[in-house]
Amino acid sequence: MLGFLEKVADYTKEAASAAKYLVDGLGVTFDHMRRRPVTVQYPYEKLIPSERYRGRIHYEFDKCIACEVCVRVCPINLPVVDWVMNKETKKKELRNYSIDFGACIFCGNCVEYCPTNCLSMTEEYELASFDRHSLNYDNVALGRLPTSVTSDPSVRPLRELAYLPEGVMDPHELTANQARAGKLPNQVIKELQAQKSNEESNNSTDMDPNKSNSTNS
Amino acid sequence: MNSGIDLEMSFTEGVQNLGLSHELAHLLWIPLPMLLVLVSAVIGVLVTVWLERKISAAAQQRIGPEYAGALGILQPMADGLKLLVKEDIIPARADNVLFTVGPILVLVPVILSWLIVPFGQNLLISNVGIGIFLWIALSSIQPIGLLMSGYSSNNKYSLLGGLRAAAQSISYEIPLALAVLAIVMMSNSLSTIDIVNQQNTAGFLSWNIWRQPVGFIIFWICALAECERLPFDLPEAEEELVAGYQTEYAGMKFALFYLAGYINLVLSALLVSVLYLGGWGFPISIDWFSSLIGVSIDNPLVQVIAASLGIVMTVLKAYLLVFLAILLRWTTPRVRIDQLLDLGWKFLLPISLVNLLVTASLKLTFPITFGG
């Protein structure tokens, strides 16, 4: 009899706790309703890509020495470097250069290893096309600069979450002069340098009385 | 209790004054409320679909439909229009007749159930004597249609979905009926009008929710299960069964299922507000209020205002419950089929039986508060 009652009590407790969890969950859902949507309404609003964004690769034909390092470091040997040896000057003569962005994984190895910095990553990410062959960019297409999101008059640029001031979650009502949370790398470097020089001067002032002490004794 | 506005009587009297016979006047009257209720049911569904999409979006910090009309209010219309012009596909090896009859058999009983939903003292299609019992009877036709469409699709997902829908409907109908029975016992009538009138003696304090809190919860859980809404949307659980019994349906036949689901949700919400939240009644008693400001309750203006406010109250209560259902959808995870049947047979059924017995004994001990 007692065992049965215990079972009933346990069952009731379980039902009560289940109901409590349900109400808690409803509270969470209800609370979410008064938050602002995080939606970026894409063709009209765009996020500003971060400064190290790895977008479509930019290429400067005149800087290239046709060394083919980019081909060797590429995971799938993607860049096509079309050159001929000029017998008279004994130099490589570059004719064409192309990267197929239908196959590129945007790892950035080619940019990293290019000895003359003729490759760089842009912030362009809208590469959709109707034909996959048109994704194979030649040196002319690779040399074009993308329109920046901030300079496009038909687009409202929005800052990414990491670039918002502290405590701000919504990029919509933000003015351009509000600084992001935390410090920029150059600010950090400046601060570190200041700290270092401070320590040095402190050390020197510390050492001065020592010196005077030593001379005294 | 006064009889309030009787539109039917005024209409028939008006037509009879034009020189038509009483029978003809009655015949002219009959289609009017039917059409009105059908239109309001469909509009109710459109509003619910829009609310569902907007509230779901808000709960997930999205925007939801925005460009079709102001705030996306026309989005459900666009959805409906799209389904209307879509190709009607019947799978090659499906049973043609059953496949077509299935969705109709699902939708028709739900629409028929609107027969007994009151929006005011005389504002319903028909004050049927068996009232709420008619709704329970009609809602048991639905699983037949679901099973039919699931079986005739010639698809394993559809079949499983149909079987689940049937199992779910059958097991949740029993506690639902028992919860309703407790209410019926208290109001001594199956008629929805009597049930509401019995609740509207002292404003919101006399609503059935205070006398039947357990019954209210049981009824709400069962209503959600009958509507196949989360957490009980097993028959169409998309992660397991693609779309359950709807898998093979497209175009208007799918739209019938869609419509039936949402009409059923609005209907259930309306019935909860009728059975437990005082239907068209105000939170404060209208008799008491009108005597407070010194206006006779029989004043025609007061009657018109009271009737329209009554409609607003019914709809408002119903949509509060719809809102709760949508919120529950994004709060609760889907139960497993064994958990679903456990909840139905091992929890709700005994609890509702106990609730019924307690109501009966309370009715014998306190006949004044529990309807002698």
DSSP states along A95-111? EEEEEETTT-----HHH
Residue B122: is its pLDDT beyond 80?
no
Put simply, the answer to whether A29 touches B58 (Cβ < 8 Å) is no
**Residue with more model confidence, B14 or A139:** A139
Residue B371: is its pLDDT beyond 90?
no
Residue of B nearest to A28 (CA): B331
Contact B256, B149 (CB under 8 A): no
B58 shares contact with chain A (CB less than 8 Å): yes
Residue B131: is its pLDDT beyond 50?
yes
Please report, for residues B140, B142, B170, B175, B226, the alpha-carbon distance to residue B137 in angstroms, rounded to integers and kept in the order given.
5, 10, 12, 14, 13
Which residues in chain A are closer than 8 Å to B350, comparing Cβ atoms?
none
Put simply, the answer to whether B63 touches A41 (Cβ < 8 Å) is yes
pLDDT score at A91 = 87
pLDDT score at B71 = 85
ipTM for the predicted complex comes to 0.70
Residues 302-341 of chain B with CB under 8 A from chain A are 327-328, 330-332
Out of B58, B60, B332, closest to residue A25 by CB: B332
B67 shares contact with chain A (CB less than 8 Å): no
Write out the two tokens for B293: 């400001």
B63 shares contact with chain A (CB less than 8 Å): yes
Nearest chain B CA: its distance from A170 CA (Å): 12
Residue B154: is its pLDDT beyond 50?
yes
Residue B203: is its pLDDT beyond 50?
yes
Distance CA B45, CA B260 (A): 9
Put simply, the answer to whether B61 touches A29 (Cβ < 8 Å) is no
Which residues in chain B are closer than 8 Å to A39, comparing Cβ atoms?
61-63
Distance CA B93, CA B329 (A): 35
B101 shares contact with chain A (CB less than 8 Å): no
Taking the CA atoms of residue B138, residue B141, residue B142 and residue B148 in that order, the dihedral angle to the nearest 10 degrees is -160
The predicted model gives B247-270 an average pLDDT of 89
Nearest chain B CA: its distance from A121 CA (Å): 32
pLDDT score at A73 = 93
pLDDT tens across A56-98, in order?
A: 999 999 999 989 999 999 999 999 999 999 889 888 889 999 9
Distance CA B138, CA B214 (A): 24
Chain A interface, best mutation among B331, B334, B339, B351, by max A CB count within 10 A? B331
pLDDT tens across B326-357, in order?
A: 998 888 888 888 888 888 888 889 889 999 99
The confidence band for B5, taking pLDDT boundaries of 50, 70 and 90, is low
Nearest chain A CA: its distance from B324 CA (Å): 9
Distance CA B309, CA B293 (A): 17
Angle between the B22-29 and B31-59 helix axes, to the nearest 10 degrees?
20
Residues 138-177 of chain B with CB under 8 A from chain A are none
**Residue with more model confidence, B8 or B278:** B278
Report long-range pairs for A122-128 (Cβ below 8 Å, ≥24 apart).
A122/A55, A122/A56, A122/A57, A122/A58, A122/A146, A123/A49, A123/A53, A123/A55, A123/A148, A123/A149, A124/A55, A124/A56, A125/A49, A125/A53, A125/A55, A125/A56, A127/A56, A127/A101
Write out the two tokens for B122: 């005389």
pLDDT score at B297 = 66
pLDDT score at A217 = 43
Instruction: Give domain A45-173's CATH architecture.
Output: 2-Layer Sandwich (3.30)
Share of chain B above pLDDT 90, in %: 8
Nearest residue to A86 via CA among A78, A95, A77: A95
Residue of B nearest to A29 (CA): B59
Strands A156-158 and A45-47: parallel
pLDDT tens across B22-50, in order?
A: 778 778 778 888 888 888 888 889 999 99
pLDDT score at A115 = 92
pLDDT score at B121 = 76
Residue B3: is its pLDDT beyond 70?
no
Which residues in chain A are closer than 8 Å to B327, comparing Cβ atoms?
26, 29-30
Chain B interface, best mutation among A39, A44, A170, by max B CB count within 10 A? A39
The predicted model gives B72-97 an average pLDDT of 87
Share of chain B above pLDDT 70, in %: 96
pLDDT score at B15 = 76
Out of A29, A30, A37, closest to residue B63 by CB: A37
First-last CA distance in chain B: 18
**Residue with more model confidence, A121 or B201:** A121
Nearest chain A CA: its distance from B327 CA (Å): 7
Mean pLDDT of chain A: 85
Put simply, the answer to whether A22 touches B331 (Cβ < 8 Å) is yes
Chain A interface, best mutation among B60, B232, B354, by max A CB count within 10 A? B60
Put simply, the answer to whether A29 touches B331 (Cβ < 8 Å) is yes
Residue of A nearest to B63 (CA): A37
Residue A214: is its pLDDT beyond 50?
no
Which residues in chain A are closer than 8 Å to B62, comparing Cβ atoms?
37-39
Distance CA B331, CA A158 (A): 31
- Enter the pTM of the model: 0.78
Residue A4: is its pLDDT beyond 60?
yes
Q: What is the three-class DSSP state of B74?
A: coil
pLDDT score at B303 = 76
Put simply, the answer to whether B347 touches A15 (Cβ < 8 Å) is yes
Nearest chain B CA: its distance from A136 CA (Å): 36
Residue of B nearest to A11 (CA): B347
Angle between the B300-329 and B213-226 helix axes, to the nearest 10 degrees?
70
Which residues in chain A are closer than 8 Å to B55, comparing Cβ atoms?
33
Interface of A with B (CB under 8 A): 15, 22, 25-26, 28-30, 32-33, 35-39, 41
pLDDT score at A54 = 92
Put simply, the answer to whether A33 touches B328 (Cβ < 8 Å) is no
Residue of A nearest to B324 (CA): A26
B347 shares contact with chain A (CB less than 8 Å): yes
Nearest residue to A64 via CA among A107, A99, A94: A94
Residue B363: is its pLDDT beyond 90?
no
- Our measurement of the distance from residue B198's CA atom to the centroid of its chain's CA atoms, rounded to an integer in Å, reads 20
pLDDT score at A216 = 46
Nearest chain B CA: its distance from A3 CA (Å): 19
The predicted model gives A174-184 an average pLDDT of 78
Residue of A nearest to B231 (CA): A22
Which residues in chain A are closer than 8 Å to B57, comparing Cβ atoms?
37
DSSP characters for B51-62?
HHHHHHHHHTT-
